[in-house]
Protein backbone atom coordinates (compact mmCIF):
# COMPACT_ATOMS: atom_id res chain seq x y z
CA UNK A 1 0.00 0.00 0.00
CA UNK A 2 1.28 3.45 -0.92
CA UNK A 3 2.13 5.95 1.81
CA UNK A 4 -0.07 9.02 1.29
CA UNK A 5 1.65 11.18 3.91
CA UNK A 6 3.84 12.76 1.23
CA UNK A 7 3.22 13.96 -2.28
CA UNK A 8 5.75 13.97 -5.08
CA UNK A 9 7.03 17.03 -6.87
CA UNK A 10 8.10 17.10 -10.48
CA UNK A 11 11.23 15.05 -10.83
CA UNK A 12 10.07 12.49 -8.28
CA UNK A 13 11.29 14.34 -5.19
CA UNK A 14 8.94 13.93 -2.21
CA UNK A 15 7.13 16.98 -0.86
CA UNK A 16 6.03 17.06 2.76
CA UNK A 17 2.26 16.96 3.28
CA UNK A 18 0.90 20.18 4.77
CA UNK A 19 -2.27 20.82 6.68
CA UNK A 20 -3.17 24.41 7.69
CA UNK A 21 -3.65 25.07 11.40
CA UNK A 22 -5.66 28.27 10.89
CA UNK A 23 -7.80 29.78 8.11
CA UNK A 24 -6.05 30.08 4.75
CA UNK A 25 -6.08 33.57 3.26
CA UNK A 26 -6.00 34.01 -0.51
CA UNK A 27 -4.71 37.55 -1.03
CA UNK A 28 -5.78 39.17 -4.31
CA UNK A 29 -3.63 42.02 -5.61
CA UNK A 30 -6.56 43.60 -7.43
CA UNK A 31 -10.07 44.88 -6.91
CA UNK A 32 -13.39 43.07 -6.79
CA UNK A 33 -14.74 41.32 -9.84
CA UNK A 34 -11.59 41.07 -11.93
CA UNK A 35 -9.89 37.92 -13.19
CA UNK A 36 -7.69 37.54 -10.10
CA UNK A 37 -10.70 37.87 -7.78
CA UNK A 38 -12.65 35.36 -9.85
CA UNK A 39 -9.72 32.92 -9.75
CA UNK A 40 -9.44 33.25 -5.97
CA UNK A 41 -13.14 32.65 -5.48
CA UNK A 42 -13.08 29.66 -7.81
CA UNK A 43 -10.21 28.18 -5.77
CA UNK A 44 -12.04 28.92 -2.52
CA UNK A 45 -15.20 27.24 -3.80
CA UNK A 46 -13.36 24.16 -5.11
CA UNK A 47 -11.42 23.70 -1.87
CA UNK A 48 -14.53 24.01 0.29
CA UNK A 49 -16.86 22.01 -1.98
CA UNK A 50 -14.45 19.09 -2.13
CA UNK A 51 -13.40 19.29 1.55
CA UNK A 52 -9.74 19.59 0.60
CA UNK A 53 -8.85 21.09 3.98
CA UNK A 54 -10.43 21.40 7.39
CA UNK A 55 -9.72 25.10 7.80
CA UNK A 56 -11.83 27.74 6.04
CA UNK A 57 -10.51 29.69 3.05
CA UNK A 58 -10.90 33.48 3.07
CA UNK A 59 -10.42 35.76 0.05
CA UNK A 60 -8.90 39.18 0.85
CA UNK A 61 -8.94 41.91 -1.79
CA UNK A 62 -5.92 44.18 -1.44
CA UNK A 63 -5.83 46.11 -4.69
CA UNK A 64 -4.91 49.48 -3.21
CA UNK A 65 -2.07 51.42 -4.84
CA UNK A 66 -2.31 49.23 -7.96
CA UNK A 67 -1.61 46.09 -5.92
CA UNK A 68 1.24 47.47 -3.80
CA UNK A 69 -0.99 46.98 -0.74
CA UNK A 70 -1.06 43.23 -1.38
CA UNK A 71 2.68 43.01 -1.99
CA UNK A 72 3.55 44.83 1.22
CA UNK A 73 0.98 42.76 3.13
CA UNK A 74 2.60 39.56 1.90
CA UNK A 75 6.04 40.92 2.77
CA UNK A 76 4.85 41.61 6.32
CA UNK A 77 3.56 38.03 6.49
CA UNK A 78 6.87 36.40 5.62
CA UNK A 79 6.97 32.76 6.61
CA UNK A 80 3.21 32.42 7.04
CA UNK A 81 2.21 29.30 5.06
CA UNK A 82 -1.47 30.15 5.46
CA UNK A 83 -1.34 33.06 2.99
CA UNK A 84 -1.38 32.70 -0.78
CA UNK A 85 -0.99 35.60 -3.21
CA UNK A 86 -2.80 35.75 -6.53
CA UNK A 87 -1.17 38.37 -8.69
CA UNK A 88 -0.08 38.99 -12.23
CA UNK A 89 2.88 40.81 -13.75
CA UNK A 90 2.57 43.58 -11.17
CA UNK A 91 4.81 41.58 -8.84
CA UNK A 92 7.66 42.22 -11.27
CA UNK A 93 6.91 45.72 -12.56
CA UNK A 94 5.33 47.58 -9.65
CA UNK A 95 8.37 47.42 -7.34
CA UNK A 96 10.46 48.93 -10.13
CA UNK A 97 8.08 51.70 -11.14
CA UNK A 98 6.74 52.61 -7.68
CA UNK A 99 10.02 51.92 -5.89
CA UNK A 100 8.39 49.87 -3.14
CA UNK A 101 10.65 47.64 -0.99
CA UNK A 102 9.45 44.33 -2.39
CA UNK A 103 11.15 41.62 -4.41
CA UNK A 104 9.18 38.81 -6.03
CA UNK A 105 12.09 36.47 -5.29
CA UNK A 106 11.11 36.65 -1.61
CA UNK A 107 7.91 34.72 -2.38
CA UNK A 108 7.66 30.95 -2.55
CA UNK A 109 5.94 30.04 -5.82
CA UNK A 110 3.12 27.55 -5.62
CA UNK A 111 2.36 27.51 -9.34
CA UNK A 112 3.03 29.84 -12.22
CA UNK A 113 1.27 30.31 -15.51
CA UNK A 114 3.00 31.51 -18.64
CA UNK A 115 1.17 34.02 -20.76
CA UNK A 116 0.11 32.66 -24.13
CA UNK A 117 1.64 34.17 -27.20
CA UNK A 118 -0.14 36.94 -29.09
CA UNK A 119 -0.47 34.54 -32.00
CA UNK A 120 -2.34 32.02 -29.85
CA UNK A 121 -4.66 34.73 -28.55
CA UNK A 122 -5.27 35.93 -32.10
CA UNK A 123 -6.08 32.40 -33.24
CA UNK A 124 -8.48 31.98 -30.34
CA UNK A 125 -10.24 35.26 -31.14
CA UNK A 126 -10.54 34.26 -34.80
CA UNK A 127 -12.02 30.90 -33.83
CA UNK A 128 -14.63 32.64 -31.66
CA UNK A 129 -15.60 34.95 -34.53
CA UNK A 130 -16.11 31.94 -36.82
CA UNK A 131 -18.84 30.53 -34.54
Note the pLDDT of residue 90: 82
Q: Where are the domains of the chain?
A: 21-108
Q: Rounded to an integer, what distance in angstroms lies between the CA atom of residue 66 and that of residue 18?
A: 32
Q: Rounded to an integer, what distance in angstroms lies between the CA atom of residue 103 and that of residue 116?
A: 24
Q: Which CATH class is domain 21-108?
A: alpha beta
Rounded to the nearest 5°, which phi and psi values hold at 106? Answer: -80, -10
Closest to 81 measured CA to CA, from 27, 14, 20, 26: 20
Note the pLDDT of residue 38: 93
Kindly report whether the global pTM for this prediction surpasses the value 0.75. no
Tell me the pLDDT of the chain (131 aa) as tens digits.
334 444 444 555 555 677 889 999 999 999 999 999 999 999 999 999 999 989 999 999 999 988 999 999 999 998 898 999 988 888 888 888 888 898 888 887 776 554 444 444 455 455 555 54
Amino acid sequence: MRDRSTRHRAGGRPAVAWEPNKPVEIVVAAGAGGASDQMARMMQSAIQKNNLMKQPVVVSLKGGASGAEALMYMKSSEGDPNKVLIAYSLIYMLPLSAKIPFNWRDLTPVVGHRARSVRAVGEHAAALQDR
